[in-house]
Structure 1
Amino acid sequence: MPVTDAFFEQLADVGHDPRLCKVHGSVRFDIRDGDRLRQWLLSIDHGQLRVTPGDGPAQAVLKLSTEVAEAMVRGELNGLSAMLRGEILVDGDLALALRMGRLFPSPAAAREVGHPWARR
């Protein structure tokens, strides 16, 4: 299973993230791997998370490659930097898209012992 799929499934299991307590909206991640497209729809209601695989309307759509998504999940790549370099394209609500960076580990957190996404 790709680390991005495991990451989004873990978000679904968590159900609430206090870092997003002031956020309300929906974001879809369109992750391209060659000809294959994996999509994750994230609905946020003041920290309550609902994550579902698949397509659906969203206020912000982030389009990125599997390599970029996996690097973000592992804490190796900052989402804002990737957006500025054109590695992530955003359609819709940019402010909402930028808040998604809170979900991904920082490089320091990714290096912590036991972090599920860090490369060993």
Structure 2
Amino acid sequence: MTATSAFFERLTVAGQDPRFSNVCGSVRFDIRDGDRLEQWLLNIDHGRMRVTRSAGPAETVIRVSAEVAEAMARGEVNGLAAITRGEILVDGDLAMALRIGRLFPRASEQADSDGRK
């Protein structure tokens, strides 16, 4: 399992995130790995998270390479910095894309969960 798949699996299992209790919307992640396109659709309804592998429509679409997506899922890359560098392209609601960044681990959180300091 890739770090990206594990990230989306964690969202599915958690099902709810109180930080998003006032948020409703949809975000699709288009993750490109060479000729392969992996798509994940995240629907948020007042903090309730539902993730599916879908090319369905979304209010916000985040386009990213598999390499950058993996690094974000491991807490090695900051989403805002990646947007600024042009490594992530956002179509739709930029504010929603920036909020979604809170779902990704930070390097310090990842190190703590791995038992490292």
Which band: TM-score by shorter chain?
over 0.9
Show the counterpart of 1:12: 12
Aligned residues: 116
Alignment of 1:42-53 (within 5 A): 42-53=42-53
Alpha-carbon distance in structure 2 between the residues aligned to 1:6 and 1:73: 8
Could you tell me which amino acid in structure 2 is paired with residue 43 of structure 1? Answer: N
| Per-residue deviation, 1:113 | 4.0
CA RMSD of superposed structures (Å):
1.4
Alpha-carbon distance in structure 2 between the residues aligned to 1:84 and 1:16: 29
Note closer, same or farther for the CA distance 1:7–1:113 as it changes in structure 2 (3 Å cut).
closer
Runs of 4+ in 1 over 2 A off after TM superposition: none
Alpha-carbon distance in structure 2 between the residues aligned to 1:52 and 1:99: 19
Q: Identity, % of aligned pairs?
A: 63
SS of 2:41's equivalent? strand
| Per-residue deviation, 1:7 | 1.2
Could you tell me which amino acid in structure 2 is paired with residue 21 of structure 1? Answer: S
Could you tell me which amino acid in structure 2 is paired with residue 5 of structure 1? Answer: S
Note closer, same or farther for the CA distance 1:96–1:113 as it changes in structure 2 (3 Å cut).
closer
Alpha-carbon distance in structure 1 between the residues aligned to 2:114 and 2:20: 24
Alpha-carbon distance in structure 1 between the residues aligned to 2:70 and 2:98: 17
Show the counterpart of 1:63: 63
